[in-house]
Amino acid sequence: MKMPTKEQVDWRRERYIGKRIRVLAIMPRDPHPVPVGTEGTCYDVDGIGQLQMEWDNGSTLSLIPGIDSFYLI
């Protein structure tokens, strides 16, 4: 995965923090992915651009833009 620039991380923070998100497909890099269709809220974007999530099923697994498939609700 290519590391995002500071500007890209800042853009992700503006776009995603506080927003509701739904998973569209199996997360390919995690042995225990969040199930397809699960919804949650982004509470932060870390320094490498991963979306820090609070999923409705209780999971806190992060999303990786460009790898994980998801959309804003």
**What share of the chain in percent tops pLDDT 90?**
79
The answer as to whether 16 is a domain residue is yes
Q: Work out how many domains the chain is built from and give that number.
A: 1
The CATH number for 61's domain is: 2.30.30.100
- Give the pLDDT band (50/70/90) at residue 8: very high
Integer angstrom CA distances of residue 1 from 32, 35, 38, 72: 20, 22, 24, 22
Q: Is the dihedral of CA 27, 29, 6, 58 positive or negative?
A: positive
Rounded to an integer, what distance in angstroms lies between the CA atom of residue 54 and that of residue 44? Answer: 10
The answer as to whether 17 is a domain residue is yes
Q: What is the pLDDT of residues 39-54, one digit of tens each?
A: 999 999 999 999 999 9
How many Cβ atoms are within 10 Å of 23's Cβ, its own excluded? 22
Which domain, by its residues, includes 57?
Answer: 6-72
The answer as to whether 57 is a domain residue is yes
